Structure 1
Amino acid sequence: MPKRIIKTARHREEHFHGHHRFEHCYVDSQVYFITARCRDRYPAFASDEAKAVFWDRFDHWTRACGFTPWVTSLIDNHYHTLGYNRTGDQLMRMMQCLHGSVAKRVNDVLPERRSDFWRDHRGRGFMDGCNRDERQARRAYRYTLTPCRRHGVCDDWREYPHTCVNVEVERAIRRSVALNAFMRGVPYQRYEKRR
């Protein structure tokens, strides 16, 4: 049986300025990769105080909305998380509440307030992706685990205090397979072009 998908977009028209509109898909019982960056790559999370605000709100809203993070990394201007989402409509709520509360509270500690804290120049506040299979989940896990190395913070994620592993990858994948939490059969455009 196919999964119920709720799609949201900022534009009514499917195509906007010659491009397909940017959409968010909310699906029940699904593994998600989520990432968001501060507008203009501003290092809003450079201070320990701002990072503490993020982690406090992240822990609160993921728990409140039924999102189980497997691995999460926070860098000075963005974060990545990979995890299991129980209900699609709660993910929508989680993202609104998480981003709203983080923007408000981090703005309170910044030297000057940042409007459109998360949104880029196209109005995108975050990117979310439903993982299609175990291979994609393993790749997303590794990618989420290692931004400290990619951004020159440190060589080993174990030394970086703002990479948090909640569930070991193989255990998470076994559980997700049992829950049918991958969106199998949906082509992934990036990989299809290479064939």
Structure 2
Amino acid sequence: MRPTKRNSGSTKRTFRGKHRFEHWLRDNQVYFITARVRGKFPAFNTEEAKSVFWDAFEHYTVAHGFVPWVTSLLGNHYHTLGYLKLGTELPRMMRGIHGRTAKRVNDLLVAEGLDRIKPFWIDSGRQNYFDGCIRDDLQARRAYRYTLIQSERHGVCDDWRTYDHTRVGLDIDRAVKRALELGAFMEGVRYKRYEGRHAD
């Protein structure tokens, strides 16, 4: 099994009796990543704000070697599923995306007479994004579909294909085939959420 580095703000495993949130940094890995604006504020309701996000997302994913399979941006959150060659690039990529987006979207909010959101991305505790290492083909397909139909689930549209802010980078069959060839799933690690469930 490939080594896994864990990245958190502390060496302690728990905080106030709960398991401390940590990021797993694994090379050659398919990741699901999601983040939400503080307080669920709809900071991305305008096309201009959405454009800020996409500019940052496209720049930093390319710069850090993340290959998005599917990404969906809504008014206050986003999800993306994709492949990352070097796990140590994950925190750098996220700092870039989130730092640039927070600064520029906050500037737009101020121009509209609203207050800056500080911190912009930290929604609960000290967690400013969630990342999960995808275990297998089934979990990849579920995460892909979940991301793909976000706009439908939130009532933004009736068909995700009509929503400009759901972007497909790779067809799921092609993406999974390549991930299997690369050995890019974290196989052999239990994922309680899917245990005991039947396959789709």
Please give the TM-score of this superposition, normalised by the length of structure 2: 0.94
Unaligned runs of 5+ residues in structure 2 are: none
Establish whether residue 46 from structure 1 lines up as the match of residue 45 from structure 2: yes
Cα distance, 1:155 vs structure 2 = 1.2
Partner SS, residue 154 of structure 1:
coil
Identity within the alignment, %: 55
Which is further off, 90-99 or 32-41? 90-99
Distance 1:21 1:193, change over 3 A: farther
Partner SS, residue 83 of structure 1:
strand
Tell me the amino acid that sits aligned with residue 64 of structure 1.
A
Cα distance, 1:194 vs structure 2 = 6.3
- Residue of structure 2 in register with 1:35 after alignment: 34
Distance 1:193 1:179, change over 3 A: same
Q: CA RMSD in A?
A: 1.3
Please give the alpha-carbon distance, in whole angstroms, between the structure 2 residues aligned to 1:85 and 1:163: 20
Establish whether residue 165 from structure 1 lines up as the match of residue 168 from structure 2: yes
Question: How many residues of Structure 1 are paired with residues of Structure 2 in the alignment?
Answer: 194
Please give the alpha-carbon distance, in whole angstroms, between the structure 2 residues aligned to 1:176 and 1:49: 34
- Residue of structure 2 in register with 1:149 after alignment: 152
Partner SS, residue 88 of structure 1:
coil
Establish whether residue 135 from structure 1 lines up as the match of residue 138 from structure 2: yes
Please give the alpha-carbon distance, in whole angstroms, between the structure 1 residues aligned to 2:10 and 2:124: 15
Partner SS, residue 70 of structure 2:
strand
Cα distance, 1:10 vs structure 2 = 2.2
Q: Structure 1, residues 145-190: CA drift from partner, whole Å, max 9, x if none? A: 0111111101110010100001000000000000000000000022
1:178 to 175, 178, 181: 181
Please give the alpha-carbon distance, in whole angstroms, between the structure 1 residues aligned to 2:162 and 2:195: 36
Establish whether residue 77 from structure 1 lines up as the match of residue 76 from structure 2: yes
Tell me the amino acid that sits aligned with residue 70 of structure 2.
V
Cα distance, 1:192 vs structure 2 = 3.3
Cα distance, 1:193 vs structure 2 = 6.9
Cα distance, 1:36 vs structure 2 = 0.2
Which is further off, 170-179 or 10-19? 10-19
Partner SS, residue 59 of structure 1:
helix
- Residue of structure 2 in register with 1:9 after alignment: 8
Runs of 4 or more consecutive aligned structure 1 residues displaced over 6 Å after TM superposition: none
Q: Structure 1, residues 42-83: CA drift from partner, whole Å, max 9, x if none? A: 000001100000000000000000000000000000000000
Q: Structure 1, residues 29-48: CA drift from partner, whole Å, max 9, x if none? A: 00000000000000000011
Tell me the amino acid that sits aligned with residue 81 of structure 2.
L
